[in-house]
Structure 1
């Protein structure tokens, strides 16, 4: 693993090099730079834990043992080091408020090569490529830029007003950050302020609180609204060469608005931390390249539509939160996600329990949320949590099942099982599932064999591929294929990577990124056939083959058989429910379409791809002739992805059938601006519904809207 590599030596500290073992500091000319003994000792301690925070107490105890000195001595040494390495901006030797100090040093090409080599089978890529292209490393920190905006009617004494308002902002920020471990003002001046945070969620929370203060101030001072705020939030630290992007996001923000990058949007949880409205690709004021931007709003900025469930769907719902490690060992951090994923997979085979998807429950892994908060956000009746320790081939785990309504603990226990590998723990998974179901009902569930990818490393790569596959960018989409090809090569006996590769080909056609849909369909079918040869009961492969048969080959009867088999094996598979419902919609079976798509929404309350679920639920409502609900679902979907052409088609049809002709034609014009080659004849040629009355009526409505024939 990366963390097993020895510390890099020498370290690059700006224009200087520091030999950790020899404790020698050289400038750009190769000359030795002398430090006082205490300062040299502190630099060496920090250099041996690059990127880690060393507390002030730890430094004082190490450098001045058994000697009583004040913090002033430590501060003086820190100043000496910064002066010696030319760190005027404090971006190399950073102060972490309320905690201590941290040395930040970029990896050299040699170090990047070492790190890349730990990912067997991949060529040595620069560290930045691994981070940006494969998503294997998280963005470090977050930035928030606040700028003052002069609105219409600026007063004559504008300079004085700017200063006064800036002082108000500074006082509010000081009170907001006081006593908190995260968040500091790095630059403050008339017209703007830059803040930095270690945690992305803290940055978003601060932006929302600051914006709320701005709105309230404008309401309280009705006669003095000439100056207000615009806020930009982005990932990364000020040492990042793209640091100016945060300021540009703030420039793009209007009065009392928060604009964030797609990176920041993907780093927090929509529906929990805040809500987002997609602004599309924006050209930032001082940058040439387009950037996908989103407006951030308070969680209660819009009403949330609850799925409509039929009586037989009102079953107890359980949320399995990813388990927490009892240690800080980075190598085992992902085990909690894997354990929860396996528990969810097995629980989902029950006909008596609704199981929330792992992509929704993972939002609570590092969140200090109460039982009632989790239950409310996920609409769950029961919550399962746990803590684990993996040591000497034994997995020790504590689990707890609670009832949301009463707060009662229904089952709590601990177990220790011998496992061959930290990811190969079927005995532990079966023990959890058996006791969870026995605590809720008096029954048992038949156990099923669980297949695993060979190693944690491979599993992590698979997760990255799935995330990249569903990003907005064609570049990320193509990188997902690279990862999947590597996974298939490394794990040729596993069905899951082949099933994901088949879905990749389907999405390639649906996104309009393929010139030969028939060829994509043939490759996708080959992938699902290989997957089902390996595992005839692979739900993901069955659902994906149904998707290929529906959307690319228009063999809806065969597709229905695949969906039915998949849902017999896993009744709570959200995507299987969604796609079978969409198939019913193509046929004009509105009631069945709504039943399945609404249940899929119930199973994915916080899914990052919820816009896709909402879009297909809107299509189901069109088939059921519930045009009001179709329009509501379409609007909610477009808030998250404003350029999704399928959703725009459904919205335009819903508007036209509701008698909103002008609005429908305006939506049609936006659709054509995104898809100028759209023709009704071509749509009929490719649409799975074109052989049914429902599809012909849809085409007629598109003509009424103004889509060329």
Structure 2
């Protein structure tokens, strides 16, 4: 590491301009020159402030990492995410404002202004700003991640070593050209299915859905995206539902030069969705040079409808992870079962919904912790029976075993899920939980870091679990920093935040966080938590530490 955080001080300039943008150094705020705020994540703003402090100079990755994350366990993918986030906010597709110097670091090419002259200069440099359009983030749990080789892109350093001949592919969300009631009917189902099946094949490194879908509604710059995601190929396309017909187009691009390798169009009955996915995957496989040999799922309009309701539920739960959001998620999955009782989607959704009830105390008045877990297990077992090759079914069953204190069974189910889909970062990340309960804390942290490393734009709940892991390690300052990196701390995570604040002696903040949690989970108590979790901890002293922090936060004994 070349410089410690205190050695990097902002220059005297209060405002730094980047074409049509202004960065307010002291406030860590990015605006257009017209004064309109531009969305930028807090850690991205911190990275930008360090670069601004040494504008025109090359700042090494080590210096940036030390300055922004001095006490936190992160991999270089966190820095890569921030650089990509800054570039997107600035519309810096050509990487001219934030310049990459291979093997040396980054350089900010900007004009520094003092406060007195900023207004006149800003007016002279007024240009149109490009604000990124952000599509809905469909929160499907079927997230496939990279399982390929290290090709020199530092984003993948945390990933395990893999076969060097494994091609890397990013699948973008397909544009939806449907209109009226058909608009959004299947959301991102086509692209999701392709991602899952390619990752399942174990012969492709498929970038995580969470990362590739960040490029929604952006022009396809194959070289830039290929560099940012570390991929060799890009698959993009469109879908359009017209009544009972489904029209799909797809094309494969070479990420090195943007050349078209293959394109095709499909016009089928809506029930042929899975058939279309299969044809795209098989053709893509032939073009890239690997064949996929497996039995493909049966396709029917009923199965497609079930998938539709399940996806809708996941989107709603992602928007509102609360008792109300979980209930809506459950109702949509009941509709999925009604549409097709022989497909697994609705049962997986119901299993997750009852598991959420048990863990977070949602709908406590309707069923106890034990009853909620029993229902969750029944639905998960039904999903496994219907779809023994679906990693999601084993994944939710693993989480239910974990909550029931059946740690060995949880580890076995996680292994089964990972074997079925070794490229799913969510499964890898979630498998850290049983490791934390049995005291294998460093191993759990490594798994979370690995999941972060192979999904450049990992979801917020990874920070939540890392906060938990760091609390277990008694590194509560770093745990708080990790929690604060979430874009929004949902009510379910406020309990963890309360424990971390109590650990730090921040009594008022701990009580405030716990109060938010209890609004959705009334009736929680030390006794209830002891009943749920004491048996999970291999060392009872570690649970007692949690109980004490809950007391500090104001949780009653009974």
The TM tier, using the shorter chain, reads 0.5 to 0.7
CA offsets, 1:579-616, max 9 Å, x none? 21111121111243123322333455446xx2222211
Deviation at 1:491, TM superposition (A): 0.8
What's 1:73 paired with?
none
Q: Does residue 1:467 correspond to 2:315, yes or no?
A: yes
Match of 1:547 among 396, 399, 407: 399
Are residues 422 and 587 of structure 1, via their aligned partners in 2, closer, same or farther at CA, if it must alter by over 3 Å? same
What's 1:93 paired with?
none
Q: Does residue 1:687 correspond to 2:529, yes or no?
A: no
What's 1:450 paired with?
297
CA distance in 1 between partners of 2:372 and 2:280 (Å) = 41
CA distance in 2 between partners of 1:696 and 1:317 (Å) = 45
What's 2:328 paired with?
479
Deviation at 1:517, TM superposition (A): 0.9
Are residues 173 and 591 of structure 1, via their aligned partners in 2, closer, same or farther at CA, if it must alter by over 3 Å? closer
Are residues 478 and 436 of structure 1, via their aligned partners in 2, closer, same or farther at CA, if it must alter by over 3 Å? same
Are residues 381 and 586 of structure 1, via their aligned partners in 2, closer, same or farther at CA, if it must alter by over 3 Å? farther
What's 1:673 paired with?
515
Match of 1:412 among 244, 251, 261: 261
CA distance in 1 between partners of 2:475 and 2:168 (Å) = 27
Residues 498 and 514, structure 2, Cα contact 8 Å, conserved in 1: no
User: What secondary structure, in the 3-state scheme, does the structure 1 residue paired with 2:161 have?
Assistant: helix
Residues 306 and 343, structure 2, Cα contact 8 Å, conserved in 1: no
Instruction: Please say which structure displays the higher CA radius of gyration.
Output: 1
CA distance in 2 between partners of 1:430 and 1:495 (Å) = 19
CA offsets, 1:240-296, max 9 Å, x none? xxxxxxxxxxxxxxxxxxxxxxxxx996669xxxxxxxxxxxxxxxxxxxxxxxxxx
1:32-181 map, 5 Å: none
Are residues 639 and 173 of structure 1, via their aligned partners in 2, closer, same or farther at CA, if it must alter by over 3 Å? closer
Q: Does residue 1:633 correspond to 2:478, yes or no?
A: no
CA distance in 1 between partners of 2:134 and 2:216 (Å) = 16
What's 1:121 paired with?
none
Residues 338 and 423, structure 1, Cα contact 8 Å, conserved in 2: no
Are residues 536 and 268 of structure 1, via their aligned partners in 2, closer, same or farther at CA, if it must alter by over 3 Å? closer
CA distance in 2 between partners of 1:307 and 1:612 (Å) = 20
User: What secondary structure, in the 3-state scheme, does the structure 2 residue paired with 1:691 have?
Assistant: coil
User: What secondary structure, in the 3-state scheme, does the structure 2 residue paired with 1:351 have?
Assistant: coil
Residues 320 and 344, structure 1, Cα contact 8 Å, conserved in 2: yes
What's 1:134 paired with?
none
What's 1:528 paired with?
380
Residues 310 and 346, structure 2, Cα contact 8 Å, conserved in 1: yes
Are residues 333 and 644 of structure 1, via their aligned partners in 2, closer, same or farther at CA, if it must alter by over 3 Å? closer
Give the structure, 1 or 2, with the largest relative contact order (CA under 8 Å, sep 6 or more): 2
Deviation at 1:568, TM superposition (A): 0.5
Q: Which runs of 5+ in 2 are unaligned?
A: 1-32, 37-88, 91-110, 120-132, 139-153
What's 1:279 paired with?
none
Residues 417 and 427, structure 1, Cα contact 8 Å, conserved in 2: no
Are residues 484 and 394 of structure 1, via their aligned partners in 2, closer, same or farther at CA, if it must alter by over 3 Å? closer
CA distance in 2 between partners of 1:221 and 1:268 (Å) = 41
CA distance in 2 between partners of 1:357 and 1:310 (Å) = 13
Deviation at 1:454, TM superposition (A): 1.8
Residues 582 and 597, structure 1, Cα contact 8 Å, conserved in 2: no
Q: Which runs of 5+ in 1 are unaligned?
A: 1-170, 175-204, 207-215, 225-264, 271-304
Deviation at 1:511, TM superposition (A): 2.7
What's 1:370 paired with?
221
Residues 323 and 386, structure 1, Cα contact 8 Å, conserved in 2: yes
Residues 354 and 572, structure 1, Cα contact 8 Å, conserved in 2: yes
What's 1:186 paired with?
none
Residues 330 and 349, structure 2, Cα contact 8 Å, conserved in 1: no
CA distance in 2 between partners of 1:269 and 1:337 (Å) = 10
Residues 585 and 623, structure 1, Cα contact 8 Å, conserved in 2: yes
User: What secondary structure, in the 3-state scheme, does the structure 2 residue paired with 1:400 have?
Assistant: strand
CA distance in 1 between partners of 2:156 and 2:479 (Å) = 13
User: What secondary structure, in the 3-state scheme, does the structure 2 residue paired with 1:466 have?
Assistant: helix
TM-score normalised by the chain length of structure 1: 0.50
What's 2:432 paired with?
581
Residues 634 and 651, structure 1, Cα contact 8 Å, conserved in 2: no
What's 2:446 paired with?
595
CA offsets, 1:40-85, max 9 Å, x none? xxxxxxxxxxxxxxxxxxxxxxxxxxxxxxxxxxxxxxxxxxxxxx
TM-score normalised by the chain length of structure 2: 0.61
Residues 186 and 308, structure 2, Cα contact 8 Å, conserved in 1: no
Deviation at 1:505, TM superposition (A): 0.7
Deviation at 1:428, TM superposition (A): 4.1
What's 1:696 paired with?
541
Paired residues, number: 413
Deviation at 1:333, TM superposition (A): 6.2
Deviation at 1:443, TM superposition (A): 3.6
Deviation at 1:504, TM superposition (A): 0.6
Deviation at 1:463, TM superposition (A): 2.0
CA distance in 1 between partners of 2:373 and 2:349 (Å) = 14
Q: Does residue 1:511 correspond to 2:511, yes or no?
A: no
Are residues 623 and 458 of structure 1, via their aligned partners in 2, closer, same or farther at CA, if it must alter by over 3 Å? same
CA distance in 2 between partners of 1:542 and 1:380 (Å) = 29
CA distance in 2 between partners of 1:386 and 1:634 (Å) = 36
User: What secondary structure, in the 3-state scheme, does the structure 1 residue paired with 2:336 have?
Assistant: helix
1:345-356 map, 5 Å: 345-356=196-207
* Structural RMSD (CA): 4.4
Deviation at 1:320, TM superposition (A): 0.5
CA offsets, 1:130-154, max 9 Å, x none? xxxxxxxxxxxxxxxxxxxxxxxxx
What's 1:399 paired with?
251
Deviation at 1:400, TM superposition (A): 1.4
1:320-399 map, 5 Å: 320-324=171-175, 331=182, 337-372=188-223, 374-375=225-226, 380=231, 382-387=233-238, 397-399=249-251
What's 2:77 paired with?
none
CA offsets, 1:459-491, max 9 Å, x none? 433222112233145333322222221221221
CA offsets, 1:326-381, max 9 Å, x none? 78797476568222111111111133544334355344343335335545665655
Deviation at 1:538, TM superposition (A): 2.1
CA distance in 2 between partners of 1:625 and 1:352 (Å) = 40
